[in-house]
Structure 1
Amino acid sequence: MYTREQFSLPLPAMCAFVRAKSFGVLATHHAGEILTSPLPVDLRSTDDGELFVAGHVARANDMSEVFATGAPATITVLGPDTYVPAEWFGTRSRIPTWLYCAVEIRGRLEPSDPGRTRADVEVMIDRLQRSAVEGPPWTLDEIPANLSEGYLKGITGFRLRGLRLTSCFRLNQRKGGTDTLAEALRADADSAVRELARLVLEPPTTGGGCPVS
């Protein structure tokens, strides 16, 4: 993914963004074709600090055949985005643009056996449940064993290892008209676009003029 220094997040902020979204598009190449799958993304680290992504796809998905090949792959995680007309800068002398937030994760695929696949699914469900509801999180053990076993037989697990993360948060950095732009963004009916108003005023990027908390 093409980016520039002023659009780049520090690594901890990229990891936090991916974990907050927890959903992206996995892309790889096999037998002359580009294969893509939208899927949940669980970015974790080993005991010695190595980052990896755990995930799964439907066993019927053609992509499941690629995991054992060690093929290179990318996962793209997207945040809020919007088209910006020139008028939102308070002038018609600016070129319209697009604001967006994205993190790309590159690595190599490896297959997971059934035991690791189940463990990875349980870890991801536990994390997402705790962020979504109060009380004890739901687990696979709460449904009949034949249902959980059937579900697990229908998926193929993988891990993406040897990661390299890249980010591009285009938020009008180092350009004028930011206050007028933020005002226009705040007036939009879409809550994701309104979130961009906060980001253009305080870019979380390494060259954006403010630190990442």
Structure 2
Amino acid sequence: MHPHPAFRWEDRPAIRDLVRETGFGALFAATPDGPRVAHVPVVWLDDDTLGFHLARGNGLARHLDGATGLFNLQGPDAYVSPDWYGTGPDEVPTWNYVAVELEGRVSRTDEAGLVAILDAISHEQERRLAPKPEWTLGKVDPAKTAKLLTAIIGFRLDIQAWRGTLKLGQNKPDAARLSAADALETQGRRAMAALMRGAK
């Protein structure tokens, strides 16, 4: 994560909200074959635990139970031109971004835990599609569900370390930061512009 203390993000409820809203990221772990990454949908099982699943054939799946995992989520990001600050020629380009790293112990779930994770992920995503009727695993033929459950493995990440970064130009004068936010808005980078306007 970025070493500048102005960019350190320790607001756990806000981090949880970003993870919930995004619902997807990358899970890294060391294996005997070297470091590996899997791209996974995630859901909060409680305030300090993420649930996710992997295809049984994923090269990382057989190494995760009992391992240390690192979940990484990339939020909005944008290149910032030094011209946008309006503070003179001595500024340099930078990249503003939001990122989260959640580190902890990974454990494999049983089948009931896997079904609970699948149900929670689909519920979290389907509720956003209202008024469409919510899809549930219960709509699938039981024989097909049973086959699906043999092809994937459920996991929990019990988080022991939280690291967040909000690099939004907080180290710049307000006028310079807001000027850059306005420029990003004109470039269509609305999410980053809004975050920069709200930065303190």
Deviation for aligned residue 1:4: 4.1
Equivalent runs, 1:23-42 vs 2, <5 Å: 23-42=24-43
**AA matched with 1:63:** L
1:84 lines up with 2:83 in the alignment: no
In structure 2, the partner of 1:15 is 16
1:196 lines up with 2:174 in the alignment: no
* Contact preservation (8 Å) 1:52, 1:163: no
* Contact preservation (8 Å) 2:80, 2:94: yes
Question: What's the % identity of the aligned pairs?
Answer: 28
Which deviates more from structure 2 when the two are superposed, residues 140-149 or residues 105-114?
140-149
In structure 2, the partner of 1:206 is none
In structure 1, the partner of 2:103 is 106
Rate the CA distance shift 1:120–1:103 in 2: closer, same or farther, 3 A.
Answer: same
For these two proteins, the number of residue pairs brought into alignment is: 196
* Contact preservation (8 Å) 1:3, 1:168: no
C-alpha offsets along residues 34-67 of structure 1, whole Å, 9 cap, x if unaligned?
010111011231xxxx510100111100111112
RMSD: 1.6
Taking structure 1 as the reference length, what is the TM-score of the superposition?
Answer: 0.86
Aligned counterpart in structure 1 of residue 121 of structure 2, from 112, 121, 124 = 124
Deviation for aligned residue 1:25: 0.3
Equivalent runs, 1:163-202 vs 2, <5 Å: 163-176=160-173, 177-189=176-188, 193-202=189-198
CA distance in 2, matches of 1:159, 1:131: 24
Deviation for aligned residue 1:135: 5.1
In structure 2, the partner of 1:66 is 63
Which deviates more from structure 2 when the two are superposed, residues 121-130 or residues 135-144?
135-144
In structure 1, the partner of 2:156 is 159
Structure 1: 5+ residue stretches without partners: 204-208
CA distance in 2, matches of 1:13, 1:3: 20
Rate the CA distance shift 1:23–1:3 in 2: closer, same or farther, 3 A.
Answer: farther
